[in-house]
Amino acid sequence: MKPRRFQPLRPAQASHEGVKAKKGLGQHFLRDGGIAADIADLVLPECDQVVEIGPGTGVLTRLLYPKWAEKLSCVELDSESVLHLSQQNWAAGLRVIEGDFLALNMRELFTGSRACLIGNYPYNISTQIAFAVVESPVPIYQFAGMFQREVALRLCAGPGNKDYGITSVLLQAYYDCQYCFTVESHSFEPPPKVRSGVMTCTRKAECPDVPYKALKSVVKMAFNQRRKTLSNALKPLLSTRDDFQLPEHWAGLRAEQLGVEDFLTLARMFEESNH
């Protein structure tokens, strides 16, 4: 991929007056207009609702709002950021929900049949947000935005990769995931100590015919001791059900060597075995 050219925001776009980045909330304000535009462009045209997490001072929001208007909602925990947005002329009429996304009622928040969740996600809760997407009682059509680079790589990693793990399998069981590009620290104020990564995930047309609880149990057990072979790592589960047997050709493999479909097969076998 070609190096990205830094495009600083114009003063009118970059005003953070009255808003101080808070370490406890994982805030790093994006100051590259080109990256903000690229993230905004990720939202698929067929989406009928857009929810942005952590709009902060609105660098991404001001690009989303003109296009999505009343279909856009923002969730912001920082009261200073909420106040800042309420004072911006460009944000007149913007729906901002002050609160913690992880504590909200997903059925009330996601009302569209093809909703997109997007944002410059706080590093300290980004994995929790990914789990919330997978475990949401209402399907979220698209999940996109910026994470710590290591987290984005992990979510999009395939089998045989050291980044491939629990969240990789659980998210990819329901979504087609793509890592888009890397963002350097100088694109933020204050600059984080790590690089960021932008990714997008689209809901699969057909969801697994396996209960999520069974899939999560198998995947977590397999990866909790990822250096062990599956026959050893899954012993606690194998011992609980008489007719849950690990296929012989997988017994000597490690968790990272199985693909998402393999784990779905294992979860299906586990679910159908005797309790």
Q: Is the pLDDT of residue 265 over 70?
A: yes
Q: The dihedral of CA 233, 236, 241, 243: what is its sign? A: positive
Q: Which of 130, 108, 136 is nearest to 212 (CA)?
A: 136
How many other C-beta atoms are found inside a 10 Å radius of the C-beta of residue 112?
A: 15
pLDDT at residue 170, rounded to an integer: 97
Q: Is the pLDDT of residue 11 over 50?
A: no
- Average pLDDT for residues 98-123, to the nearest whole number? 95
The parent domain of residue 189 ranges over 23-203
Q: Are 138 and 221 part of one and the same domain? A: no
Q: Report d(CA 71, CA 68) in Å as an integer.
A: 5
Residue 253, domain CATH: 1.10.8.100
Number of domains in the chain: 2
Domain boundary (203, 233, 263) is at 203
pLDDT at residue 2, rounded to an integer: 44
pLDDT at residue 12, rounded to an integer: 44
Q: Are 196 and 239 part of one and the same domain? A: no
Residue 157, domain CATH: 3.40.50.150
Q: Which of 266, 143, 139, 258 is nearest to 207 (CA)?
A: 139
21-58 pLDDT, tens per residue? 556 555 577 889 999 999 999 999 999 999 999 998 99
Does pTM top 0.85 for this prediction?
A: yes
* Residue at 163 is within a domain: yes
Domain boundary (203, 220, 240) is at 203
Q: Are 39 and 115 part of one and the same domain? A: yes
Model confidence band, residue 267 (pLDDT cutoffs 50, 70, 90): very high
Q: Is the pLDDT of residue 6 over 90?
A: no
Least confident among 114-123, 141-150, 230-239:
230-239
Q: Quick one: how far is CA 219 from the chain centroid?
A: 18
